[in-house]
Structure 1
C-alpha cells in the first residue's frame, strides 16, 4: 500500500467533482490530453444519466471513476466505434428504455492502484445493473499490451493466451477476472490506440437476475456472507509472518465474496515465543506492543480486499498502563473501531493481570448492525440482550478455549444468544498447540454459525460448522430478511413477548 488511507467512499459523481476528476485522470493517462474529459461533456453526462456516473474517493480525494450510459445494443453496428456509441460525446445515444449498461470510462489514479478499488467500482456497476433490471453490462476494452506481441499472435490468439494466464494484459486480464466474457473483437474502436493496434475487445457481464418485465430488483442486500477463520497455532518468526498468514486467509474468504472475515481470540499468541524467558505477565505485555501495527495492517487488508475484518483479539496497554484484551473492527470503507473484552476469566487475571472493559456497544456496517463479544463475554446473556435492543442482528464471538469443556460453554451459550435475541451468532477459535509459549500450550475449537430456532432455520439451530481442531475456513451465507420475518411472524416472538412490565435489562448510567 503506497498511500495511507483513512476513509474510502464510493458515490455518484457531481459536477463539482470535475477538477478533481480531471486531475486524477491526467495521472491515470499520463497527461494525454486527448483522453481527458471536458467539463461540458461531464455536465451532459450528468444531465442524461446521473445515477450511472460513479466516483471513488480516498480521504475526500477523487481517485477513480466509472462512467456509463444505457443503450439498446442492437441499435448499433456490431463493429461500432467509441464516437458512435457516445454520439460524438453528446450522449444522445443514451436510452433510458434500453436494456444494456454500456461502460464508457473507468480509471484509477496510479498511486491508488493495487487496492482493488477498480473492482469496487465494477461491483457497484453490477449492483446498478441489477437495480435497474438491465440485461447486461457491455463495454469495449483496450488491449494495451498487444502491440508487444502483435507480430507473433493474432488478436484472437492473444485473447486466448491472456484468458489462459499465459500472457498478461492490464485491461483484459482485469476484465476477465471480474467475470466479463469476450463477445467479439472490433477494429478501429478508439482512434489512435496504437498500443492496442487499433483493436478493442467487446466484453459483457450478464445479469442473472434480469427479468423481461419492468420490475426492478430489490437493491437492498439481504444475504450476508461470513468468512470464519479457524486459525492453527504455529511458530511464527515475526510479525510479518503473522501478517502473511492472515492475508492468506483474508484473500481466501474475500475470494468467495465474503462480507466479513472473523479471526479468533488471541491468534497473535505465537509471537510470545520470543518472550518465553520472561514471566507470563511480562511476556503478554511485550505482545501488546504489536496492537497498533495490527490495527494499521488489517485496515489496509480491509480496504485492499473489500471486506470487513473482525481481528479476533490481542492484548493492548492503554495510556494508564492497564492491560486489556481488545480487538478491532476494520471496515472496508477504511475506518476502524476498537472493542474490549468485558468479562475477564480467572486465568487472564491470575497469569496476565488483565482488566475488563466498560463499554457495551454495537457497530454500524454496510451489512447492518453487528455486535462483537470476546469468548467469556458470550456466557453473560445481559450483554447481547442490550445489543439486541440496539438493533444488533449479527453477533461475532472470537474465542480461545483450551479444553472441550471450555468450548462447550462457549458453544452452548452462543446458541442460546442466537435464539433469545433472534440473531445470527458466528464463533471462531484457534486450534493446535504452542509448546514454547507459557499459558498458551493447547487449544480446542470448532468454528460455527448459529441461528434462531424456527421453521425458516435449521432444526438444530446450526447453519454450518467446521471440522473440530483442523485449520480451515468456513464460508456461510445468512439471510437477514429471515430475521425480520421471524420477529414479526415467528411461531414464538421472544423479543416481543418479554415481560417488560416485570423486568428489563439496561445499561447503568
Structure 2
C-alpha cells in the first residue's frame, strides 16, 4: 500500500437498534466545507473559531498524506473525521506539544520515513455520537498502521477530569486512579476501550483548561510486526 492509496470501508452501526450504513474513506477537497461544519458543531462558542480546521489546513492534509485523512459518512451524511500523519518516535523522549508535533495542524512535519502514525485530530458530530464512530475510525487507523508496516499509532489523549482535581493529585496519580477504577475520565476511558495503552503523561501538550494543559500519550502497537521481521 502506498501513501496515495485510497482507503474505503463499509459496515453498519446501530441507532436505537436500527442499522445505519457507515462508510469510512479518505476526505477530498469536495468535503472541506462539511468538515469545517463538523468542527463548528463539535467546538461551539466560546471555543475560538480560529482553532477550527481551516481550508488551507485541510488542503495540506490531502496533499501531504492523503491516505491518513479519513472521514465517516452515515447514510450518506458526513459526520466525522480523523486526521493522521507519520512521524519518527523515540519512546525514551515522550515530551512534546501538539502544535510542535503537527506543525499547528498543517502537518508540515509529516515524515513518510517515520515509524509512527500520529493522531492529529478526531472529531464526531454531536448528532452522530453514541454510534461508535470514534472507535470505528480508530480501527481504520490501526488498519493503516498495519498496511504501511508502521510500529504504532500514537496520540495525546485529553484528561478532561484532571483540571478539577489538579490541586489534589499529580497528573500521574490521576491517570493511575483511572487505570485502577478509582476515577473515571471520558477521554482516557474511550481510548482504553479502543485498545490504546498509556505511555506517559505529557505536560503543556495543548491549551486545555479542563485537562490543566496535560495529555496522556497513548499508543496502539502493530501486532503483526514480527511477521515482517521487525
Q: TM-score range by the shorter chain?
A: 0.7 to 0.9
Are residue 112 (structure 1) and residue 128 (structure 2) matched?
A: yes
CA 90–107 in structure 1, closer or farther in 2 if over 3 Å, else same: closer
Q: Within 1, Cα distance between the matches of 2:40 and 2:69?
A: 18
Name which of 187, 191, 203 aligns with 2:218. Answer: 203
The 3-state SS of whatever aligns with 1:70 is strand
CA 128–209 in structure 1, closer or farther in 2 if over 3 Å, else same: same
Tell me what 2:180 maps to: 164
CA 113–20 in structure 1, closer or farther in 2 if over 3 Å, else same: same
Instruction: State how 1:98-109 maps to structure 2 within 5 Å.
Output: 98-109=114-125
Structure 1 unmatched ranges of 5 or more: 216-509
Are residue 130 (structure 1) and residue 146 (structure 2) matched?
A: yes
**Which structure is larger by alpha-carbon Rg, 1 or 2?**
1
Are residue 58 (structure 1) and residue 63 (structure 2) matched?
A: no
* Offset at residue 35 of structure 1 (A): 3.1
Deviations 1:88-118 (A, max 9, x none): 3342211111110001101211121111111
CA contact (8 A) 1:139 1:202 kept: yes
CA contact (8 A) 1:181 1:205 kept: yes
Deviations 1:18-62 (A, max 9, x none): 111111121112242143101100101111110011111112221
Number of residue equivalences: 214
Tell me what 1:18 maps to: 32
Are residue 121 (structure 1) and residue 137 (structure 2) matched?
A: yes
* Offset at residue 87 of structure 1 (A): 2.2
Name which of 197, 201, 204 aligns with 1:188. Answer: 204
CA contact (8 A) 1:185 1:201 kept: yes
* Offset at residue 211 of structure 1 (A): 4.9
CA contact (8 A) 2:81 2:123 kept: yes
Are residue 43 (structure 1) and residue 62 (structure 2) matched?
A: no
CA 173–75 in structure 1, closer or farther in 2 if over 3 Å, else same: closer
Q: Within 2, Cα distance between the matches of 1:90 and 1:104?
A: 10
Q: Within 1, Cα distance between the matches of 2:20 and 2:28?
A: 22
Q: Within 2, Cα distance between the matches of 1:45 and 1:9?
A: 20
Are residue 70 (structure 1) and residue 86 (structure 2) matched?
A: yes
Structure 2 unmatched ranges of 5 or more: 1-14
CA 212–45 in structure 1, closer or farther in 2 if over 3 Å, else same: farther
Q: Within 1, Cα distance between the matches of 2:228 and 2:17?
A: 46
Q: Within 1, Cα distance between the matches of 2:91 and 2:55?
A: 28
* Offset at residue 17 of structure 1 (A): 0.7
Deviations 1:435-487 (A, max 9, x none): xxxxxxxxxxxxxxxxxxxxxxxxxxxxxxxxxxxxxxxxxxxxxxxxxxxxx
Name which of 78, 93, 111 aligns with 2:109. Answer: 93
CA 76–152 in structure 1, closer or farther in 2 if over 3 Å, else same: closer
CA contact (8 A) 2:105 2:120 kept: no
The 3-state SS of whatever aligns with 1:41 is helix
Higher relative contact order (CA 8 A, sep 6+): 2
The 3-state SS of whatever aligns with 2:82 is strand
Q: Within 2, Cα distance between the matches of 1:56 and 1:3?
A: 20
CA contact (8 A) 2:204 2:213 kept: yes
Instruction: State how 1:390-405 maps to structure 2 within 5 Å.
Output: none
The 3-state SS of whatever aligns with 1:185 is strand
Are residue 80 (structure 1) and residue 100 (structure 2) matched?
A: no
Instruction: State how 1:29-428 maps to structure 2 within 5 Å.
Output: 29-31=43-45, 32=47, 33-74=49-90, 78-190=94-206, 192-211=207-226
Root-mean-square deviation (CA), in Å? 2.3
Deviations 1:340-377 (A, max 9, x none): xxxxxxxxxxxxxxxxxxxxxxxxxxxxxxxxxxxxxx
Q: Within 2, Cα distance between the matches of 1:202 and 1:97?
A: 21
CA 76–56 in structure 1, closer or farther in 2 if over 3 Å, else same: farther
CA contact (8 A) 1:136 1:206 kept: yes
Q: Within 1, Cα distance between the matches of 2:50 and 2:96?
A: 20
Q: Within 2, Cα distance between the matches of 1:24 and 1:94?
A: 24
